[in-house]
Amino acid sequence: MLVSYTERGDKIRLISARQATKQEIKAYQEG
């Protein structure tokens, strides 16, 4: 799951949420 969000003051605003691609998973795991 890939989640994009922003923090505004004491609130968190969700921008998007979607299944991560295989390339994104690999990049995350490799650091």
Whether residue 24 contacts residue 6, with contact meaning beta carbons closer than 8 Å, is answered with no
**Is this model's pTM higher than 0.85 or not?**
no
Percent of the chain with pLDDT over 90: 100
Structure confidence by residue, pLDDT tens digits, 5-17? 999 999 999 999 9
Q: 13-30 as b/e, with b when 16 or more CB fall inside 10 Å?
A: eeeeeeeeeeeeeeeeee
Q: What pLDDT, on the 0 to 100 scale, is given for residue 15? A: 98
The total number of structural domains that make up the chain: 1
d(Cα 29, Cα 22) in Å, to the nearest integer? 11
Q: What pLDDT, on the 0 to 100 scale, is given for residue 8? A: 94
Q: Which domain holds residue 24?
A: 1-31
Q: What pLDDT, on the 0 to 100 scale, is given for residue 22? A: 97
